[in-house]
Amino acid sequence: MDLTVTEEKVTRALLVSVDTGEYDAEASLNELFELTESAGAEPIASISQKLDRLESATCVGSGKLDEIKNLCVELEIDLLIFDLELSPVQIRNIEQITDTRTIDRTMLILDIFALRAKTKEGKLQVELAQLKYMMPRLTGKGVEMSRLGGGIGTRGPGETKLETDKRHIRRRMETLKEQLKDVENHRNELRKRREKDGVITTAIVGYTNAGKSTLMNFLTDAGVLAQDKLFATLDPTSRALKLPNGVTVMLIDTVGLVRRLPHHLVEAFKSTLEEAALSDIILNVCDASSEESRLHLDVTEELLVSLGCVDKPIIPVLNKCDLVDKNADIMRISDAVFISAKTGEGIDKLLEKIEENLPLRVKRVKLLLPFDKAGLTSKIRASATLLSENYTENGIEVEAILDEMLYSKLKEYEI
């Protein structure tokens, strides 16, 4: 019997950047290298071109395209990845000239989303985003169609769903929207229940690969996938965290942000970001060791403001500070908390900061209840957090965490 294990061939990718001056092309290309590795391909090399405007037929100039074609042969390239969004015509023309499969930045991100999504909601959102993106690119059962569902940039819905006409795809999109609506309604019910029970929520947001999942795991032992890969977490995870002062908060890990995330992807994952918008406290986590840490903090805060988080406490959390020189500029941000989710450094200060920003609706109090009001302890136990209960000769001494409404009814017994 042949027990030989054959290793799967790693896709060799050539990255193509076009600098039109609209954004920092070099920083974006560096991120594309990480995205490519996260998708499971090997970025062999990159090639760039400066242009005033993109070539409508081939994105890059004809001379550059010839150069790309030669590199594909020389370096045995399997896949071209362009660091921008290509039109269906551009993809077809580039593939014909270079004889190499071509995808764009959006297709790559969608592919990673398809690879990482684990929950029902995550999978539904990924498929809907992919179908929305692919819809205008479906021209028939040609070469492009037959390759869908195969390798990097094509994971997700797969051949069986996409080898249909646009009418069926529209129908599938409507079904996905209905299913997402049901999932969203279920989550809204859970959220309402949390609010009714006075549960305080703290969302962890920030750029992908900033160490959010590692922080979540350190604080709660949540077991969330924590890898040095972009988009390691795609689904919101909630875990209870008991603070040193006795208050328990619900910690929510959210999908990581990435520069130039296409608007239709933001829309597809809006529900996961809404978890942050509706939280009481937001931890804006960034990788302090990154050269762009300050930019990442600012971009995340801008997005939070656009989601309506202007009146929420947003705590800048600089992670991986154990990898940074203590005299670096980034270590001088006055209102930030400096931590290492890997070693635990600074976690106590982070917990203190969360306690300082707890909403006023909760209060830790000591009460002395008369014996004829003993029934109030049951009420506290049912709708608040009863920390201790002690019968004394003067009455029942109670320590509890109360919401605003219950506190107003019991404050006369406070000691």
135: number of Cβ within 10 Å: 12
What's the pLDDT score for residue 231?
A: 55
Confidence of residue 38 (pLDDT cuts 50, 70, 90): confident
Mean pLDDT within 48-76: 95
Residue 79 has pLDDT above 90, yes or no: yes
- pTM flag (> 0.75): no
- Percentage helix, strand, coil, to 5, in the chain? 45, 20, 35
- Return the top range by mean pLDDT from 11-20, 129-138, 297-306: 11-20
Confidence of residue 147 (pLDDT cuts 50, 70, 90): very low
- Return the top range by mean pLDDT from 1-5, 145-149, 260-264, 388-392: 388-392
Q: What gap in Å lies between CA 316 and CA 299, rounded to an integer?
A: 12
Whether residue 393 contacts residue 371, with contact meaning beta carbons closer than 8 Å, is answered with no
Mean pLDDT within 137-146: 45
Confidence of residue 134 (pLDDT cuts 50, 70, 90): confident
Residue 119 has pLDDT above 80, yes or no: no
Confidence of residue 330 (pLDDT cuts 50, 70, 90): confident
More confident residue, 292 or 139: 292
More confident residue, 280 or 184: 280
Residue 227 has pLDDT above 70, yes or no: no
The closest of 19, 30, 16, 106 to 295, measured between CA atoms, is 30
- Return the top range by mean pLDDT from 59-63, 297-301, 305-309, 310-314: 59-63
Task: Identify any residues that bridge with 255 across adjacent strands, giving them in sequence order.
Answer: none
pLDDT digits (tens, 9 = 90+) for 356-415: 898 866 677 888 988 888 888 888 887 777 888 889 888 889 888 777 778 878 888 888
Query: In this structure, what DSSP letter does residue 55 have?
Result: B
Least confident of 116-125, 139-148, 298-307, 338-347: 139-148
Question: What rounded mean pLDDT belongs to the chain?
Answer: 81
The closest of 93, 91, 96, 82 to 148, measured between CA atoms, is 91
Cα pseudo-dihedral 339, 33, 303, 327, rounded to 10: 30
pLDDT digits (tens, 9 = 90+) for 176-224: 989 988 887 877 777 777 666 667 889 998 887 788 888 988 988 756 5
Please, where are the H alpha helices in 48-87? 62-74
Least confident of 108-112, 193-197, 233-237: 233-237
Q: What gap in Å lies between CA 339 and CA 346, rounded to an integer?
A: 4
SS3 143: helix
What's the pLDDT score for residue 130?
A: 85
Q: For residue 272, give Cα distances in angstroms to 27, 129, 275.
A: 26, 14, 5
